Copies of this chain bind each other. A is one copy, B any other.
Amino acid sequence: MIKPRALSGFPEYLPAQQLAFNRVLSIIRATYEAHGFTPIETSGVEHRDVLTAKGGDDAEIYALTRLNAGPDERETDLALHFDLSVPLARYVAQNESQLVFPFQRSQIQKVWRGERPQAGRYREFYQADIDVIGRGSLSLMYDAVLPAVVSEALTQLDIGPFCIRINNRQVLQGYFEGLGLAPAAVPQALRILDRLEKVGIDRVRADLTTTFCLNEETLSPLLDLATAGLASEAVLAELEGQTVNAVFDAGVADLQRVLSGLRDLGVPDSNFQLDLSVARGLGYYTGTVYETRLLAFPGLGSICSGGRYENLVGNFHTGAFPGVGMSIGVSRLVPALLEAGLLGVSAATTAQVLVTLLQPEFQGEALRLGAELRAQGVNTEVYLEPHRLGQQLRYADRKGFRLAVMVGQTELQAGQVRVKDLQTGEETVVGRAQWAHDLRRRL
């Protein structure tokens, strides 16, 4: 006998919570599809060299071995993907001649991280990605489209106020180069800046000054702006007033166009903000970068991040395929929403109606009633165990059906069906002829 136990870092849900999770995925998927982000799915498994191609990335990876093979055959060169960006790059490089560019794709899948088990760390989780990939070039306007789509998805989810924080790495790159840092040293500065929210401004200032022997004052124009809490327009005006270098100016100009694009796209000002502290740790972002906070959940971290990259498929293809992408971390988002009661969790069934059975001999009639309801588009289950009505109604209550239909001799002889509203307890009797149609209208 083996004790079944939960696997830490591999989240699972009971049926009611699973339905809430699925609704979140459906809303995100529908919003992505409404904008023409067409779903693809890549295998969960890649060649190891594909996953480790990027080199700098030290993601924890699960490699696969064949448990039941002989010792010589056990090792494979396969591993589980740890994000959806590397698989996208491989997919685009592999299928380039058959894809149509700009390639707008969505991808909602599980990914795995081979981490040491640790509280709060997911080892299996869902990501819901959108990216647009261009061949040769890609309009900057897509950098505004992506947060607009995410803003719409989060609005549809109805999970409270949120803010998509937007920055441009060229602004930071230009700024730090302007302070005398070698271009190759800038990523380290960005990683320090990226921790601003976590460790605070004083620590970031100290780390930057000591690591790069910088004068505190030269950092002020950036750090003061990053923490002043000004509106996007005010930050932009400040940036436009600074004289740094061409890289900086290009970044500021792009930021300005992206923010203005977001307004053209009808995204409310409250849903996004220019935030100079957003740097993103990942090396491959080259322009616009995003992070997203739910305002009621400051401790949750970013629930949707991403950015612009100039060289998606560089490890797999000689062509230039710039792109921009964002990724919603669904598996981290949903538990927080469930805990806060922000997702409706009511039923543990996809059916609205339960057909119960007062006498076993009317099972055939119960099955026919169920089929009639389903033909009207009403999801319906028929209870088939020979239990008393009380137990059947308890089952209906516990699973959260809306209505119970009762079939017994009295009703059948009178050409009627009895219907119980499980929320109000009210019972009504409807005629057999039009009943399925009537019921559908009540739901």
Interface residue ranges, A against B (CB under 8 Å): 1-7, 10-15, 18-19, 21-22, 32-50, 52-53, 58-69, 73, 76, 78-80, 90-91, 93-95, 98-100, 102, 104-105, 110, 112, 114-116, 123-124, 134, 137-139, 141-142, 145, 261, 264-266, 315-318, 348-351, 354, 363-364, 367-368, 371, 374, 379-382, 384-386, 395, 398-399
Query: With A38-B349, A316-B2, A380-B34 in contact, do A64 and B66 touch (Cβ < 8 Å)?
Result: no
Starting from the known contacts A5-B47, A6-B94, A64-B64, 18 additional A-B residue pairs (CB-CB under 8 Å) come to: A2-B49, A2-B53, A4-B93, A14-B95, A14-B99, A33-B379, A38-B349, A38-B351, A62-B64, A62-B65, A64-B65, A64-B80, A69-B114, A137-B385, A145-B384, A264-B363, A265-B367, A266-B368
Could you tell me the distance between the alpha carbons of A58 and B21 in the complex, rounded to whole angstroms?
A: 34
| Complexed CA–CA distance, A53 and B4 (Å) | 11
Determine how close the nearest CB of chain B comes to the CB of A113; give it in whole angstroms.
10
Could you say how many copies of this chain the assembly holds?
2
Taking a contact as CB atoms closer than 8 A, the residue among B19, B45, B62, B102 that contacts A7 in the complex is B45
A35 touching B351 in the complex, CB below 8 Å, given contacts A66-B60, A315-B2? yes
Let me know if B14 and A139 touch, CB within 8 A. Answer: no
**Choice from B91, B116, B142, B351 contacting A384 with Cβ under 8 Å:** B142
A44 CB contact (under 8 Å) in B59, B68, B91, B110: B110
For residue A14, which residues in chain B have a CB less than 8 angstroms away from its CB? 95, 98-99
Find chain B residues with CB under 8 A from A94 CB: 4-6
B69–A41 touching, CB < 8 Å: no
Are A380 and B45 closer than 8 Å at their CB atoms?
no
Give the CA-CA distance A73 to B399 in the complex, in Å.
43
**Can you show 20 pairs from A to B with CB atoms below 8 A apart?**
A2-B315, A5-B47, A7-B43, A7-B46, A21-B41, A34-B374, A34-B379, A36-B379, A36-B381, A38-B351, A52-B67, A60-B67, A64-B80, A64-B114, A69-B116, A100-B399, A139-B384, A139-B385, A264-B363, A264-B367
Of the candidates B18, B67, B371, which one forms a contact with A266 in the assembled complex, judged by CB atoms under 8 Å apart?
B371
Docked CA distance A11–B42 (Å): 8
A65 touches B68 (CB 8 A): no
Could you tell me the distance between the alpha carbons of A137 and B386 in the complex, rounded to whole angstroms? 11
Q: Which residue of B lies closest to A51 (CB)?
A: B67
Q: Is the pair A114, B350 in contact by a Cβ cutoff of 8 Å?
A: no
Contact between chains at B73 and A66 (CB < 8 Å):
no
**Residue contact B73 to A116, C-beta cutoff 8 Å:** yes
**Residues A67 and B63 in contact, CB atoms below 8 Å apart:** yes
Q: Is the CB of A60 within 8 A of B50?
A: no
Q: Is B12's CB under 8 angstroms from A41's CB?
A: yes
Q: Verify A42–B12 contact, CB threshold 8 A.
A: yes
A18 with B35: CB separation less than 8 A: no
In the complex, chain B residues whose CB is within 8 Å of the CB of A6: 94
Verify A386–B66 contact, CB threshold 8 A.
no
The residue of chain B having its C-beta at the shortest distance from the C-beta of A366 within the complex is: B264
Q: Contact between B4 and A19 (Cβ–Cβ < 8 Å)?
A: no
Q: Give chain B residues whose Cβ lies under 8 Å from the Cβ of A3.
A: 316
Residues of B within 8 Å of A1, CB to CB, are 315-318
A368 vs B263: C-alpha distance when bound (angstroms): 10
Q: Which of A145, A364, A384 has the most CB of B within 10 A?
A: A384
A102 smallest CB distance to B (angstroms): 6
The residue that A351 contacts in the complex, of B36, B69, B264, with Cβ under 8 A, is B36
Shortest CB-to-CB span from A203 to chain B, Å, is: 28
Question: What residues of chain B lie closer than 8 Å to A99, measured between beta carbons?
Answer: 14-15
> Chain B nearest CB: distance from A155 CB in Å?
13
Question: Whole-angstrom distance from the CB of A93 to the nearest CB of chain B?
Answer: 4
